[in-house]
Structure 1
Amino acid sequence: MRWIRCAAVATLALTITACTTSPTGRQQLTLMSDAQLNQMGQEAFAQYQQDLPPAGQAQQRYAQCVAEAIVAVLPEQERNQDWQIRVFEAEQANAFALPGGYMGVNTGLLDIAENQDQLASVIGHEIGHVLARHANERVSTQTSTQLALSVLSSAAGLEGPGGEQLMGALGLGAQYGILLPFSRRHESEADVIGLRLMADAGFDPRASVALWENMSAQGGANPPEWMSTHPSHGQRMQGLQAEMDNALARYEQARQAGRQPNCPRP
């Protein structure tokens, strides 16, 4: 059908003009302006700081020390971003990163991360999300998926209860077949980038696996992996182990170069 050919041509043109490469060499679709997303990240970070109580100064200095050691080994362009990290008083074992270099860590995660190396695996992971422009890719994927479903609905005349039911099924298929796998891919990629960064900064990369062992020991029900935005704990540990030889070599090079962070845990 003609509309299918037109949609295919438009999609191809969009993909070609918005194609970038992640730090691991993966092809990405990035439609958004980095400046626009960075502004949104700044606004969201300000809102977080209004809504969540700050942790104590000792915890803040601890996270800042680890973050600065990792930022120091970034390429110059990325290193010169306005990186900011805040520790929030919240029991959930969680951390986040926003476009523009804004990061948050909950005290609940500091309770699980037993030392500076384990915390470095978390902060390296969050910096990895920013370096790989995952927020841009996520928004771009959602936008292009919704556009494709809208074009399909209009062109195929899917109206009425039957059409709504079919479009609902297609939307569900897009969620589990495209959007969630992309999110899991982002998490795995950030794990790899973070592992390299922490090793380059002189943090022991083996601590990344120990952190996830701690997370697994916390228990808690998880949805099936195909319904989750994150890989399973076991899959994450396997992915980290697969990269460990390279990370250990980078770690030894960093130590020989004098990069030996000292960030005492409060």
Structure 2
Amino acid sequence: MPGLLDLSSPRALRRLLPLAALAASVTLSACASSPLGRSQLTLYSDQELEKMGEASFSKYQQELPVVEGRQDAYVSCVADAVTAKVPASYGISGWQVKVFEDESANAFALPGGYIGVNTGLLEVAENQDQLATVIGHEIAHVLARHANERVSTQSLTSAGLSLTQALAGLEGTGGDQLMGLLGMGAEYGVLKPFSRSHESEADLLGLDLMAEAGFDPRASIKLWANMNAAGGAQPPVWMSTHPSDEQRMAALNERLETALPTYQQARAAGEKPNCDRLR
């Protein structure tokens, strides 16, 4: 059929071999499950992800000024209390915590045990419980292996589009335009929804984690209200990598039914973090 790739030609086979290798690795890789029971595709080893995390953290430190002193002590106090509740089975012997001079209200945690908090977040998170909400959320991404799932999905999606282009013979200007549309469909139909499921999962797992550390999970609702006020206009949910703040608050409010008793038990057992807010 005109326009299709001739699979009998050496050139076609050379183009398809890398894709076949990736397909074989997907077939051989074990499907994992997230802590909440959702099926996951993980093509990379923990060691590979830890190296990625180390490299990313090093790059971040090179690009932004690291803040020390009272802000660092405050963030470290909250982060240490939360990370103390990470089960040893995850194999993270210690967590590096850094505060970065950046006005965006953001934070992150990376595979291998790295936590970064921007100074802008300290303007939105009004107390230790709200800060613990964000830090618990970011740590939950690591514990649920969302980074592995994310890069695995991106690799597989990219390979699938390449295979479509090879099999259909989509070359030239017209082919590039069609592949661009297919790529957009993959982004909004697969990658972004995947990311939204990660965010929702991290919200719930992070809430449990902060409650176990003795931070009040009810503060999570106010934190996301603050984020909503600071965030301005938001894109439609289907175009966003995050659920809307309203969706997050509704899900967190429902989760309080179990998180609040966990918090009360932790406080009764002596988990009473007291981190200096600075002001």
Asked whether the two chains share a fold, i.e. TM above 0.5, the reply is: yes
Of residues 262, 267, 270 in structure 2, which corresponds to 1:255?
Answer: 267
Task: Give the C-alpha shift of residue 255 in structure 1.
Answer: 1.2
Tell me the residue number matched to 2:57.
45
1:86 to 98, 101, 124: 98
2:115, 2:122 → 1: CA distance?
14
Tell me which residue corresponds to 1:173: 185
- CA shift, 1:15, in A, is 5.0
Corresponding position of 1:232? 244
**Partner in structure 1 of residue 156 of structure 2:** 144
Q: Which residue of structure 2 lines up, in the alignment, with residue 61 of structure 1?
A: 73
Displacement of 1:162 in angstroms is: 2.9
Alignment deviations for residues 73-107 of structure 1 (CA, whole Å, 9 cap, x no partner): 12112374331111112111111122212111111
Deviations 1:213-250 (A, max 9, x none): 11122242222211111111111111111211011111
**Residues matched between the structures, number:** 260
In the alignment, the residues of structure 1 paired with residue 231 and residue 143 of structure 2 have an alpha-carbon distance, to the nearest angstrom, of 31
Partner residue, 1:19: 31
Judge which range, 69-78 or 124-133, deviates more: 69-78
Classify 1:38/1:106 alpha carbon distance in 2 versus 1 (closer, same or farther; 3 Å): same
Contact 1:117 1:204 in 2 (8 A): yes
SS at match of 1:218: helix
Sequence identity (%): 61
Deviates more, 1:144-153 or 1:211-220: 211-220
1:81 maps to amino acid = S
The superposition leaves residues 155-183 of structure 1 with CA deviations (integer Å, 9 ceiling, x where unpaired) of: 12223333322222111100000001111
Q: Is the 8 A contact 2:25 2:43 kept in 1?
A: no
Give the letter aligned to residue 231 of structure 1: P
Q: TM-score if structure 2 supplies the norm length?
A: 0.88
Output the amino acid matched with 1:253. Answer: Q
TM-score using structure 1 length: 0.92
Structure 1 Cα separation of the partners of residues 24 and 193 of structure 2: 21
Give the distance between the partners of 1:246 and 1:15, measured in 2 at CA: 38
CA distance in 1, matches of 2:208, 2:28: 30
Alpha-carbon offset, residue 55 of structure 1: 2.0
Which position in structure 2 is the counterpart of 1:209?
221
Q: In structure 2, what residue type is equivalent to 1:76?
A: A
Q: Which residue in 1 is equivalent to 2:13?
A: none
Structure 1 match to 2:12: none
3-state DSSP of counterpart to 1:86: strand
> Against the structure 1 CA distance between its residues 211 and 222, is the aligned structure 2 distance closer, same or farther, given a 3 Å change threshold?
same
Of the candidates 205, 208, 211, which is equivalent to residue 199 of structure 1? Answer: 211
Aligned to 2:86: 74
Q: Distance in 2 between matches of 1:223 and 1:188?
A: 17
Distance 1:232 1:101 in 2: 28
| Separation in structure 2 between the aligned mates of residue 172 and residue 80 of structure 1, nearest angstrom | 37
Structure 1 letter corresponding to 2:178: L
Aligned 8 A contact 1:71 1:79 in 2: no
What one-letter code is carried by the residue in structure 1 that aligns with 2:159? L
* 1-structure distance, mates of 2:179, 2:194: 21
- Kindly provide the amino acid, as one letter, of the partner of residue 52 in structure 1: L
Residue 133 of structure 1 aligns to which amino acid in structure 2? R
2:15 matched to which residue of 1? none
